[in-house]
Every structure is written in C-alpha cells, then in structure tokens.
Structure 1
Amino acid sequence: MKQKELLQIIERAIKAQEHFLTDVAQNDNPQVHLMVQVVRGRLDALKCTKEAIEGNVFALKILGEGAHP
C-alpha cells in the first residue's frame, strides 16, 4: 500500500470518528460516554499516526516516552 493511500484511509477514519463524536455530543447515556472515551483515544492515535507518516514524529515520541499531554 502506498503512503498516499494509507493517509487517505486514515483521514477517512478520522472523519468517521469525528462524525460519531458530533452525533452523540448531547447523549447522556452512560454507555455512550464510555464509547466516547474509546473513540477519543482512537482519534488521538489516528491523528498521531497520520502526523508520523507525514514526517512529524514529535507527538509520537512524547507518547512513547510516557508523557501525558
């Protein structure tokens, strides 16, 4: 798989996760709140991966050293 194709797939995944967060923003269901936490983590991971592929590994290095933003 080429880098450009991988970036496109990651970008679609980011948009899908952001869309989910927008859709459930007003939901008070405790199960949905747990799902939101999982999706936020997934979104952070996708964004770090995208940036690393694009050449910016700074955020990924920080996470790898155990620092918490």
Structure 2
Amino acid sequence: MAPLTKDRNTPRLECEIRSAGVVVATLIFAGAIGMRDASGDLVNGQTATGLVGGGRTEERADNSAGSVGDIS
C-alpha cells in the first residue's frame, strides 16, 4: 500500500486518546497509522521489526525540522 500524501478521514472506534513524541524528520498525516519505536516515539506506519502499532493519528504532526519529541 502506498504511503499517504495528504490527511484522510479514517474511521475509528471510540477509545482512549494517547499522546507520543514524534521522531526527527517525520511528517505523519491525520488519519494515518502510527507506530511506536523502541523508545516509545511515534513513526509512520510501516512493516518493520521493533515497531508496535500505536493506532490512528488524530491530526497532522510535522516534525520535519524538529528534534525527537518537539511535537506530540
């Protein structure tokens, strides 16, 4: 499946909303699947070992110019 290139309205179940820091040089679109790395920081959804599903992102997070955790 191709990565998102813009925000999308992804349906979700009612559940607890959590927050996590976003890794460096990362843009996560609203409605995308977020994954947590070994440090608990959020990255774009992908097939990779060592990542855990974090769920649907509520809003766009653009940390392309920041440090880890500057945006959550």
Q: TM-score range by the shorter chain?
A: under 0.3
TM-score, scaled to structure 2: 0.23
The normalised TM-score by structure 1 is 0.23
- Larger helix percent: 1
Choose between structure 1 and 2: higher strand proportion: 2
